[in-house]
Amino acid sequence: MSKRIGILTSGGDCPGLNAVIRGTVKSCAQLGYDCVGFLKGYEGLYDPVQYVQLTPKSTVGILNQGGTILGSTNKGRFAAVKGVEDRVEIAQHLVDGVKETVNQLDIDGLICVGGDGSLAIAQQFHEHGIPVVGVPKTIDNDLSATAFTFGFDSAIECATDALDRLHTTAASHERIMVLEVMGRHAGWIALHSGIAGGGDVILIPEIGWSYEHVCHKILHRESQGKKFTLVVVAEGAHLPDGGIVGEENAGRQIKLGGIGKAVTTEIERRLHREARLCVLGHLQRGGMPTTFDRVLATQFGAHAVRLVVEGRFGEMICSRPPEMTSVPISEAVHRVRQVDPNGPAVQAARALGISFGDRPADEVSHGVFDIKLEHLPENGPDNLLETAELAVEAALAN
Compute, in degrees rounded to 10, the torsion defined by CA atoms 385, 391, 397, 398: -170
34, 108, 140, 293: the catalytic one is 140
- CB neighbours of 148 closer than 8 A, spacing ≥ 6? 141, 296, 319
Using CA of residue 109, residue 110, residue 112, residue 113, what is the dihedral sign? positive
Whether 7 contacts 131, CB under 8 Å:
no
Q: List C-alpha distances in Å: 354 to 89, 162, 200, 240, 363.
A: 44, 18, 5, 19, 11
First to last CA, the chain: 72
> Does residue 140 carry a catalytic annotation?
yes
| Helix, strand, coil shares, percent, the chain, to 5 | 40, 20, 40
Helical ranges in the chain per DSSP H: 17-31, 92-104, 116-127, 152-173, 188-196, 211-223, 259-271, 291-309, 329-332, 344-351, 384-397
Whether 280 contacts 158, CB under 8 Å:
yes
Q: List C-alpha distances in Å: 351 to 338, 360, 369, 392, 394.
A: 21, 14, 8, 9, 12
Question: Is-cis flag, bond preceding 48, omega within 30?
Answer: yes
Return the SS3 of 257.
coil
Annotated catalytic sites, by residue? Answer: 140
